[in-house]
Amino acid sequence: MRRALLIALLTVQVLAGCLPGHRDGGPGVAASGAPAAIEVTALDAPGQGAPMAVPDGTADADLPQNTAGQSGAGAAQVGPEGAQAAPAVAGDPSAGGNSAEGNTAATGETSAQDAALAEPPPPKSASELACERRGGQFAAAGTSGARACVLRTRDGGQQCRRQGDCQGQCLARSNTCAPVTPLFGCHEILQADGRRVTLCID
């Protein structure tokens, strides 16, 4: 029994001698529990201030937080600019929507003009061709909308006293020969015997 107790005591002493507190003294145990100090020097401001002592484990924990904060600030600054830039590009007047509509309208007008110019005039009737050969003009006559051959007289505007003095009619109000023949509408004329009458042609 005593032998077993001695062996147990020796084993306890040997194990106790391996502990740092028994090797370096009592205070060593308290000192070993404190985190080791690490010297950190800021890279962006060399030579300013003394090196900062940061406990072990604190620098690594703070670094991702600062980086995340800076990244968030950068995203906050870039975000509004990107949001403002997108509408500016989308609302660019030179995008092509308005240009395409303007080109289409201009092309449509040009095509209509070209089509109007390309259409051949209607063929002339035999009466119109005969009127042109006589030097007349085929025009609308009176209020009925009919067309007739109107000729200019050789003595239009000359003085007259009766119908025989003019190629056409002798106008009673001005005593001058009518400029064209026939006279469409109602006019006062002088007949061959000099009488004043009203002639209406429609």
Instruction: Tell me the C-alpha distance between 133 and 115, whole Å.
Output: 31
Instruction: Tell me the C-alpha distance between 169 and 196, whole Å.
Output: 12
Q: What is the pLDDT of residues 178-194, one digit of tens each?
A: 999 988 889 999 999 99
Q: How far is CA 1 from CA 6, 12, 57, 199, in A?
A: 9, 17, 51, 171
Q: Which phi and psi angles does 58 have, rounded to 5°?
A: -80, -40
Q: What is the pLDDT of residues 161-177, one digit of tens each?
A: 999 999 999 999 999 99
Run of H or E residues at 137:
strand 137-141
Residue range 4-17: average pLDDT? Answer: 72
State the burial class of residue 181 (Cβ atoms within 10 Å of its Cβ: 0-12, 13-18, 19+). Answer: middle
Torsion of CA 179, 182, 186, 192, to 10 degrees: 80
Residue range 95-115: average pLDDT? Answer: 61
Supply the pLDDT for residue 85: 46
- Give the percent of the chain with pLDDT over 70: 46
Residue range 93-106: average pLDDT? Answer: 54
CB 155 within 8 A of CB 180: no
How many C-beta atoms surround the C-beta of residue 169 within 10 A? 22
CB 141 within 8 A of CB 184: yes
Lowest mean pLDDT among 35-39, 77-81, 133-137, 167-171: 77-81
Supply the pLDDT for residue 145: 72
Instruction: Tell me the C-alpha distance between 29 and 113, whole Å.
Output: 106
Supply the pLDDT for residue 18: 64
Residue range 70-84: average pLDDT? Answer: 45
Residue range 102-114: average pLDDT? Answer: 65
CB proximity list for 36: less than 8 A, separation 6 or greater: 56
